[in-house]
Amino acid sequence: MSIYKKAAEMVKHSGRITAFTGAGISVESGIPPFRGDDGLWSKYDPALLDINYFRAYPEKSWPVIKEIFYDFFGKAKPNAAHRALAVLEKNGMVQTVITQNIDNLHQEAGSKEVYEFHGNSQYLICDSCAGRYHVSEVNLDEMPPYCRQCGGLLKPDFVFFGEAIPQGVYARSVREAQLSDLFILIGTTGEVVPASMIPPLAKSRGASIIEINIDPSNYTERISDLFIQAKATEGMIGLMDALGIPLPPE
């Protein structure tokens, strides 16, 4: 039986399925991963995304944040892997997407139940009064951007190193790990805690694990029951074919 047929059987025999995604699912949308040969952390210093550094040197941190997450990410579109997860949700075969990504591509692909473990880059929040702005409302040519209400520093509404995970998202993700029969891991190293603790928790509670990645990850030997070594789009298209579910064109 092909690996895709095996994956399809696992999906068909699961009552509650969660997809757990990382930067790898967005690489074919043109967004580089953080780690790996041409990863963002090989070009930029992750310290720029440390919350204390950002607050101390916003004039240094913000221009790089703008370059990476707004000038570059801003034009990315969902790819077939994002769309496949949205179709599976519509078919009642995936209940939740837990993503570490901040690129909003799951929502743009049509997924509704999306838990953003590291927040979302579409909104900026005032570090003083918590005023919230959609990025389109803010002139990012003025660096760093400040709050129109109180003059406080605006910060992207995603989780910086040294910041806590949004409490509601964390709790709901743990709950899905406790209740799901199957986790589909797509494009993640499994290196960043506490996000990386969610799949092992699911495994410990009896979930089966399908992993789609171009390379083995921290999960592959430890918890993955089925490892599909493929790009995210190839893996998800193969799964949809094996399930006999057509994937609508872009």
Q: Which helix (H) or strand (E) holds 54?
A: helix 51-56
Buried-exposed string 89-103: b where 16+ CB fall within 10 A, e elsewhere: beeebbbbbbbbbbb
89 to each of 31, 34, 93, 113, 206, how far by Cα in Å?
Answer: 24, 27, 6, 8, 22
> Judged by CB under 6 A, does residue 189 bind ligand APR?
yes
Residue of 104, 188, 208, 224 that binds ligand APR (CB under 6 A): 188
Dig out the tokens for 185 from the structure.
């891991």
What b-and-e string marks burial along 127-154, b requiring 16 or more CB atoms within 10 Å of the CB? beeeeebebeebebeeebbbbeeeebbb
Q: Which amino acid, 205? A: R
Strand 182-186 to 17-21 pairing: parallel
Stretch that binds ligand APR, among 23-31, 50-58, 138-146, 238-246 (CB under 6 A): 23-31
The verdict on whether 134 is a catalytic residue reads: no
CB of 66 to ligand APR, least distance (A): 17
Q: Which of 13, 82, 106, 118 is catalytic?
A: 118
| Candidate list 214, 226, 229, 241; residue touching ligand APR; CB under 6 A | 214
- Side chain identity, residue 92: G
For residues 126-185, which are near ligand APR according to CB under 6 A? none
The alpha carbon of residue 27 and the mean position of all alpha carbons in its chain are separated, in whole angstroms, by 11
Residue choice 3, 192, 197, 226 for contact with ligand APR (CB under 6 A) = 192
The residue range among 124-132, 137-145, 186-194, 239-247 that interacts with ligand APR, by the rule CB under 6 A, is 186-194
Residues 57-116 that bind ligand APR (CB under 6 A): 100
Q: According to CB under 6 A, which one of 11, 18, 19, 33 is a site residue for ligand APR?
A: 33
Q: What is the DSSP letter of 7?
A: H
Residues in the chain, total: 250
- Round to the nearest angstrom and report the end-to-end CA distance of the chain: 30
Rule CB under 6 A: say whether 238 interacts with ligand APR.
Answer: no
Q: Pick the closer one to ligand APR by CB: 147 or 196.
A: 196
Instruction: Output the smallest distance, CB 231 to ligand APR, in A.
Output: 4
Q: Specify the residue, 75 or 148, whose C-beta has the smaller distance to ligand APR.
A: 75
- Active-site residue numbers? 118
Binding site for ligand APR (CB under 6 A): 22-24, 27-28, 33-36, 39, 100, 118, 187-189, 191-192, 213-215, 217, 231-232
